[in-house]
Amino acid sequence: FGPDSFRRVTIPLIPWYKERQLKNISLGSIIVLSLLRAITFNLNRLQDYFLLNNCCAVLLNLSPHVVNMHSYAAMRLASVTVSCMRRYSSLVAKNGGRPAGENDVYTNLGMYSEVCRTLLQMVKFGLRPKVISKNLHLVYSIVYSSREFNDAVNSKMSPFEASDVQPIRDVITEAEEIIRNESARTADKAMEALQKSTDKLKNVASMSLSGKNKKVSSNTSVGSISSDVSLNNAEDFTFTYEEEADPEIFFVPYVWEVIVCAMTSTTLEWDKPKIRVFPLLEEIPDDTNETETEHDMANKSSGTYSQDISDIV
């Protein structure tokens, strides 16, 4: 299982849902689609920050390596990005124009802020000069959603800074001009026009990044500088998960909370007081007592089950 197998492994046919059969799609594109579906479900139903944070971390880990994205995955990436941007702009407007802060990470405002930041970063990585010719489906998808994208950016009290969206807008402007000059009125014709003009797209992407780096002043934060450098030079970065010594202390209650309170809440009527999850040992047997029989040890360590689901959920 090579480090780049998610790009090399192609699946001939996969049923995504009844109306959509995905053909010749890479494993990486399936991962992107699955994570986008998990993120949208989480934002609409679960509103679980832990799940959202991990999905965003996986997407950011994949971002520097995204090439040859499937057309449907590219369209979904553009669509979800624009949808989240519009929703985040609306939430900021309701919040008096104040964007998400450090204390808002567990709120809708904070979660939409993180998703927008992640997806915009992923799109910008896909439009880098080095890989833009291999991500023309993403270019077309962004152009297709350009009106909604610009509406979100130009909305009143928009939380998006020029540095966040300008590289994308530059590519959109150039791609729209290419398609218009070729009089391409269908998706296939538009893709052909973009394929012929990859050099122009590379130049625009390069100029956009160069102009952005020139504007970095002495007051610019270290975080924003490192973000620009990694985007320009495609430096590899990785978000890692550090597991605690006893992960079950967190994950057992967490998984049960998701199952009981979210995943099956509309299909199963749980009798929570009767749910028994795991034994709670009342007494730990002493292994050094050689004279104690197995029967005695079993009686001491049999333990009881939690009688109340609220103990762990």
Is residue 22 scored above 60 in pLDDT? yes
Is residue 140 scored above 90 in pLDDT? yes
State the pLDDT at residue 112. Answer: 95
Q: In angstroms, rounded to a whole number, what is the distance separating the alpha carbons of residues 76 and 29?
A: 10
Is residue 252 scored above 60 in pLDDT? yes
State the pLDDT at residue 126. Answer: 93
Domains of the chain by residue range = 5-233, 248-311
- Specify the residue for token string 């970095």: 216
**Number of helical (H) and strand (E) elements in the chain, helices listed first:** 13, 4
Q: What is the DSSP string of 172-230?
A: HHHHHHHHHHTT--SHHHHHHHHHHTHHHHHHHHHHHHHHHHHT--TTS-HHHHHHHHH
Q: In angstroms, rounded to a whole number, what is the distance separating the alpha carbons of residues 271 and 275?
A: 7
Name residue 25's beta-bridge partners. 11
Is residue 309 scored above 70 in pLDDT? no
Q: In angstroms, rounded to a whole number, what is the distance separating the alpha carbons of residues 138 and 69?
A: 7
Asked whether the beta carbons of 276 and 306 are under 8 A apart, the reply is yes
Q: In angstroms, rounded to a whole number, what is the distance separating the alpha carbons of residues 311 and 313?
A: 6
Q: In angstroms, rounded to a whole number, what is the distance separating the alpha carbons of residues 185 and 136?
A: 17
Task: Write the CB contacts of 175 (distance below 8 Å, at least 6 apart in sequence).
Answer: 139, 140, 142, 143, 194, 201
The residue that leads in pLDDT, 204 or 278, is: 204
Is residue 272 scored above 60 in pLDDT? yes
Mean pLDDT rounded to a whole number for the chain: 79
State the pLDDT at residue 1. Answer: 33
Burial class (CB in 10 A: 0-12, 13-18, 19+), 190: buried
End-to-end C-alpha distance for the chain, whole angstroms: 38
Structure-block tokens of residue 96? 């008096």
State the pLDDT at residue 86. Answer: 94
**Which uninterrupted H or E stretch holds 26?**
strand 20-26
Is residue 234 scored above 70 in pLDDT? no
Helix axes 222-233, 108-126, angle to 10 degrees: 30
Mean per-residue pLDDT for 43-48?
88
State the pLDDT at residue 304. Answer: 46
State the pLDDT at residue 198. Answer: 93
State the pLDDT at residue 103. Answer: 83
Of the candidates 52, 34, 176, the residue with the CA atom closest to the CA atom of residue 109: 52
pLDDT digits (tens, 9 = 90+) for 168-192: 999 999 999 999 999 988 999 999 9
Q: In angstroms, rounded to a whole number, what is the distance separating the alpha carbons of residues 230 and 237?
A: 8
3-class DSSP assignment, residue 293: coil
3-class DSSP assignment, residue 307: coil
The residue that leads in pLDDT, 73 or 259, is: 73
Q: What is the DSSP string of 121-184?
A: HHHHHHTSTTTGGG-HHHHHHHHHTHHHHHHHHHSTT----HHHHHHHHHHHHHHHHHHHHTT-
Mean per-residue pLDDT for 209-232?
43
Is residue 5 scored above 50 in pLDDT? yes
pLDDT digits (tens, 9 = 90+) for 280-307: 444 445 555 545 455 444 444 444 444 4
State the pLDDT at residue 40. Answer: 95
Task: Give the chain's largest Cα–Cα span.
Answer: 91
Structure-block tokens of residue 57? 């971390």
Mean per-residue pLDDT for 15-33?
88
State the pLDDT at residue 282. Answer: 44
Least confident of 76-90, 178-192, 261-275: 261-275
Confidence of residue 201 (pLDDT cuts 50, 70, 90): very high
State the pLDDT at residue 232. Answer: 47
Mean per-residue pLDDT for 236-263?
68
pLDDT digits (tens, 9 = 90+) for 147-165: 999 999 998 888 998 888 9
The residue that leads in pLDDT, 223 or 73, is: 73
Asked whether the beta carbons of 300 and 285 are under 8 A apart, the reply is yes
Say whether pTM exceeds 0.75.
no
Is residue 4 scored above 70 in pLDDT? no
